[in-house]
Amino acid sequence: MTSQRRAAPATLAVTLFALAGAAGAFAQAPPLRLPQPSQAASVAQTVGLTEITITYHRPRVNGREVWGKLVPWDQVWRAGANENTTIEFSTPVRVEGHPLAAGRYGFHTLPTAGRWTLIFSTVDTNWGSFAYQESEDALRVEVQPEAAPHQEALAYTFDDATAKETTAALRWEKLRVPFRIEVDTPEVVYQSLKRELRGLGQFFWQPWNQAAAALLAQQVHLDDAMTWVERSIAIQKNFANVNTKSRLLQAKGDAAGAQKLIEEALPTASEAELNAYGYQLLGASDPAGAIGIFRENVKRHPESWNTWDSLGEGLAGAGQKEEAVRMYEKALAMAPDAQKARIRGILDGLRKPD
């Protein structure tokens, strides 16, 4: 009896071990990470301050008939492989003229033998388009595909990008499916500046002035721009922010006030500020005013080759070639070696007979 009692625990242990081994034999082993037939990819484009990112998988043609066969007509398609393709916008945009809020969207298409429907779904976690539901659409637009050079592996591109728009395109086999994306960049910049000016920059004159000048350049929210440049002046008045305020007054129709303000500030301008102001006048089609500023800069800083160079440029632009040659000769005599070839080239051009 004693020997039997001692054997029982050992037998039980063997039994439990065998059962554990049997259970382990049927457990699912973790999958190994291996290459996918359709490789993952992403492509991004900045438009102004707006980030646009498309994430997708790249099926290959592999000699197959794609359109109407591998990708059936008149059925919602994931616009890629594996998970649904996604497209993300960091700010609100317009797609083919239609507004779409910032966010990440599942991107599907409805291919046909003619025009395609592009679908931006509020659900971006689908596997393919198998669980797609039209009720979850954020936007649908129609576009016209076009013939294109052969593209073996599906790809997305951003074409003709500017600070305000770009054209995204799905490219596969011999088809390109483009869709235009527009951004209200001036408004996006304005909203971004408002956020930034609540940070550390609010305690310095430069960010307020830079922000006001940015709105002036875009000709938007000029009242806010005036408020911001006044904040800059209150922190530290100088030629740079007074010049910005003067230009704002000009833009708002107060030419007399703008001129009075800039005349009061000119005595405080540095060489670089005077030079920049002269070019500002050139850009505003005021060559006589620019030449006057360049002459003043030469008077204040005769030792600077750059002041003579700028005066020469202003005179040459106004057709006063003889005096322009004399100014460029002055600049050449003082200029660093890196500038001499450029100035000699200008002089050669000015000395040629008309």
Residues in the chain: 354
Q: Which of 334, 291, 338 is nearest to 310 (CA)?
A: 291
* Cα separation values, 121 from 94, 125, 133, 171, 209, Å: 15, 10, 8, 21, 42
Please give the Cα distance from 182 to 164 (Å, whole number): 6
Q: What is the pLDDT at residue 52? A: 98
Mean pLDDT computed over 71-85: 96
pLDDT above 60 (res 210): yes
Mean pLDDT computed over 279-296: 95
Per residue in 134-146, pLDDT (tens digit) is 999 999 999 999 9
Q: What is the pLDDT at residue 26? A: 56
pTM of the model: 0.80
The whole-chain average pLDDT of the chain stands at 92
pLDDT above 80 (res 218): yes
Alpha carbon 56 to its chain's center:
21
Q: What is the pLDDT at residue 66? A: 97
More confident residue, 169 or 1: 169
Q: What are the boundaries of each domain within the chain? A: 39-183, 186-351
More confident residue, 15 or 255: 255
* Cα separation values, 321 from 159, 275, 342, Å: 44, 20, 17
| Percent of the chain predicted with pLDDT > 90 | 88
Domain 186-351 falls in which CATH fold? 1.25.40
Per residue in 4-38, pLDDT (tens digit) is 444 444 444 444 445 455 555 556 888 888 787 88
Mean pLDDT computed over 305-320: 96
List Cβ neighbours of 200 (8 Å cut-off, separation of 6 or more).
none
